[in-house]
Amino acid sequence: MTKNAQETKAQRVERLKRSKNPWEALEEIRRFAREGFESIPPEWLGTYFRWWGVYTQGDGAGVTGGQNGEGRALQCFMVRIRIPNGLLRSEQLRIIADLTRRYAHGIADITVRQNIQLHWVTIEALPDLLEALAKVGLNTTGSCGDVTRNVTGCPVAGVDADEICDASPIALAASRMLAGNGDFYNLPRKFKISIAGCRVWCPYPEINDIGLTATTRVLRGTPEVGFSLRVAGGLSTDPHLGVRLNAFVRWHQVLPAILGIAELFRDSEVLREHRERARLKFLFLQQGWTAESFLEELQRRIGFQFDPAVEELPPADVYRDHVGIHPQKQPGHCYVGAAVLRGRITAEQMHAAADLADRFAAGELRTTNMQNLLIVNVPRFNTESLAKELDAIGLRVGGSPFYRGTIACSGTEFCKLAITETKSFSRWLVEELDERLPGFDQHLKLHVTGCPNSCGQHWIADIGIDGKKMKVDGRLVDAYYFCLGGALGLHQGTARPVGYRCPATEVPEAIERLLRQYLATRQAGENLRRFFARHTDTKLREFLAGAPVEAVSRDVPAVSIGGALTQSAGGDGD
């Protein structure tokens, strides 16, 4: 056996990272483009490309079609365009639309980290695509790989009538500080930052490695805006909500704090031993770290002490998708939010949205972590016309709670780790629920995820469904396992796996039964979250199934078909 054959996956990736900073190797990508797909070595396909937001696209069969927990890939790529804080100008969206039409079969996905992801991109197209993006100030640097991912923030930063502060300048500064910075190209694994100046924490700081939320203290009679600091949040197969540190982070301390945490993460050698346990959260989950020891180590590194945290009230209202017409803090102006069903948007829709943003407003758009698109700074007298035009191009400024509340990950259409198809399924599910429960009167988050990795964030949804396979009449079919009652903010908690699983085709029926129970038996003013909290797993399972049923375990043993497993490795896809 050669030395390399004995390497673990983690050792191999660590060796590759040590030997090259992919951000310094753009020339190699240009060469691959000239010489064709066959010239690309495996270390680029499996590792280095990700630093450029580029990763191989599955062949449509997901994990089932491959081996060792990973499906087969096509000779083309997914490309994630980084949109810090979701801030986007019309000329940028127009370029993305052009590139989508030219290189990505005319469709793109708005993601839960406010990015826009393209698919079907060939190696020949890649240099042109990267250059075209750079010309309008966009890039893909670090939207994938073991680096700082897109820094997310409140999509209505700067216009929200109720915000504590506009934190987007800090989010952008953090992004500039880390994306493409050679000192941080080699982290143990991905590193996610979210900074919210709003009161509702809509970019989900709790599920990031660093979550900063604006808060106010009064010091010697003067109010001062600063931030609460949470660290080590993350979802995936081992969800862990961020741990709040006893720190009031003053405005000018934010970037040093972020830098210090990034260094602490980078230098945590122990995390580099297993790819599946390499996120910051594993310092807490496995290495015995606590809020106190983390803060102490952070302060030692940055060389100053934070003032103690102030009391804060996490938001009780966990639902805000920004859809609809909302007054801004700027008098006479509104923002208009359109629901993009499961984030799927066409080149034509992006072009049209960019044109509408110019025609009716100042050409400023925002992407949201609920996979939606907003146009901001719209003079009030333009809002109705704009909303009509958005509706006309299929970007609904409204829609049922199901239409607005459903998000989905990539699924088998493009993802090599996927167990189920998610995007078409979600559209069908929404149509079904709209028909079955017309006029349903509660907002809800319905999150569809194609495997346990939770890119569709099923852990924080009211109803989170997690893709599985099931045998029905001897045939292997897509199925979903139900997790209920996830929430962030004041009532934070990951969704409860309630032991119910059914074929994908039966999901609408199961959700209908559950929600009809809710409608029929809810107490006065009781929202879904409280309803789920009031019932045991057994009861909720019964509501879903329509009769008492035994619990099934969430992680069904992988089924082997033709040498491939129907269980993703849960590890290292993006």
Residues that bind ligand SF4 (CB under 6 A): 409-411, 415, 417-418, 449-451, 453-456, 573
Q: Tokens 């106190």 sit at which residue?
A: 292
Q: What are the start-end ranges of the E strands in 165-221?
A: 193-196, 210-219
Which CB, 160 or 413, lies closer to ligand SF4?
413
**Strand pairing of 446-449 and 116-121?**
unpaired
| Beta-bridge partner residues of 507 | none
Among candidate residues 542, 475, 534, the one with its CA nearest the CA of residue 504: 475
**CA angle in degrees (0–180, nearest 5) for 400-151-288:** 105
Residue of 64, 90, 92, 115 interacting with ligand HEM (CB under 6 A): 115
Residue of 113, 199, 468, 501 interacting with ligand HEM (CB under 6 A): 113
**CA 484 – CA 463 distance, rounded (Å):** 5
Question: Which listed option, ligand SF4, ligand HEM, none, makes contact with residue 411 (CB within 5 to 8 Å by class)?
Answer: ligand SF4
Which CB, 150 or 454, lies closer to ligand SF4?
454
Convert residues 510-549 into a mask of x (bound to ligand HEM by CB under 6 A) and - (unbound).
----------------------------------------
Q: Tokens 């758009």 sit at which residue?
A: 365
**CA angle in degrees (0–180, nearest 5) for 102-105-109:** 105
Number of DSSP helices (H) and strands (E) in the chain, helices first: 16, 23
- Give min distance, CB of 311 to ligand HEM, in A: 27
- Give min distance, CB of 382 to ligand SF4, in A: 37
**CA 170 – CA 182 distance, rounded (Å):** 20
Which CB, 377 or 422, lies closer to ligand HEM?
422
Question: Which listed option, ligand SF4, ligand HEM, none, makes contact with residue 451 (CB within 5 to 8 Å by class)?
Answer: ligand SF4
Question: Which listed option, ligand SF4, ligand HEM, none, makes contact with residue 111 (CB within 5 to 8 Å by class)?
Answer: ligand HEM
- Give min distance, CB of 461 to ligand SF4, in A: 13
Question: Which listed option, ligand SF4, ligand HEM, none, makes contact with residue 235 (CB within 5 to 8 Å by class)?
Answer: ligand HEM
Q: How many CB atoms lie within 10 A of CB 475?
A: 7
Question: Which listed option, ligand HEM, ligand SF4, none, makes contact with residue 113 (CB within 5 to 8 Å by class)?
Answer: ligand HEM
**CA 403 – CA 431 distance, rounded (Å):** 8
Sign of the torsion angle spanned by Cα atoms 556, 546, 508, 200: negative
Helix (H, G, I), strand (E, B) or coil at 141: coil
Token digits of residue 79: 């490309």
**CA 372 – CA 226 distance, rounded (Å):** 28
Question: Which listed option, ligand SF4, ligand HEM, none, makes contact with residue 112 (CB within 5 to 8 Å by class)?
Answer: ligand HEM
Helix axis angle for 126-135 and 26-35, nearest 10°, is 140
Residue 212 found at the interface with ligand HEM (CB under 6 A)? no
**CA 172 – CA 159 distance, rounded (Å):** 16
Token digits of residue 519: 């409608």
Convert residues 394-433 into a mask of x (bound to ligand HEM by CB under 6 A) and - (unbound).
---------------xx----xxx----------------
Question: Which listed option, ligand SF4, ligand HEM, none, makes contact with residue 236 (CB within 5 to 8 Å by class)?
Answer: ligand HEM
Token digits of residue 80: 């994630």
Sign of the torsion angle spanned by Cα atoms 426, 428, 431, 436: negative
Residue 213 found at the interface with ligand HEM (CB under 6 A)? no
Residue of 159, 210, 235, 504 interacting with ligand HEM (CB under 6 A): 235
Which CB, 266 or 423, lies closer to ligand SF4?
423
- Give min distance, CB of 496 to ligand HEM, in A: 18
Residue of 453, 517, 527, 567 interacting with ligand HEM (CB under 6 A): 453
Residue 10 found at the interface with ligand HEM (CB under 6 A)? no
Residue 455 found at the interface with ligand HEM (CB under 6 A)? yes
The site for ligand HEM (CB under 6 A) is made up of 80, 111-113, 115, 117, 149, 192, 207, 235-236, 409-410, 415-417, 453-455, 457, 571-574
